[in-house]
Amino acid sequence: MILFGIIEAGLFVWTQAGLQHASEMAARCATVNATTCGNASATQNFAVQQAYGLSLAPSVFSVTTPACGNQVSATYSYQFITHYFGTPSLTLNARSCFPK
């Protein structure tokens, strides 16, 4: 059980870090690179490419333009490997805003 706990914790942290990195890079791209991230759909697809090691759908990311600039948010339901034993899923969130 300790081994499964260590593996699960590592995968959980990896997923959270991947979501945060993808959100940060996509928010920056939306501000700096209008050719690659010219609209919300292109920004979402860019975010998916930046989530290294994760297989995510573009719908995980949302793009908005609040007062802080271009904001990319991610919401992902993390399913543990041990869900067969009744482990619940957790919702991971990441958000980044890059000024215009």
* pLDDT recorded at residue 87: 80
Averaged over 24-42, what is the pLDDT?
A: 95
Confidence of residue 40 (pLDDT cuts 50, 70, 90): very high
Amino acid at 46: F
Phi, psi angles (nearest 5°) of residue 22: -65, -40
Top pLDDT among 5 and 39 is at 39
pLDDT tens-digit profile of 53-96?
899 999 999 999 999 999 999 999 999 887 777 788 999 999 99
Mean pLDDT computed over every residue of the chain: 93
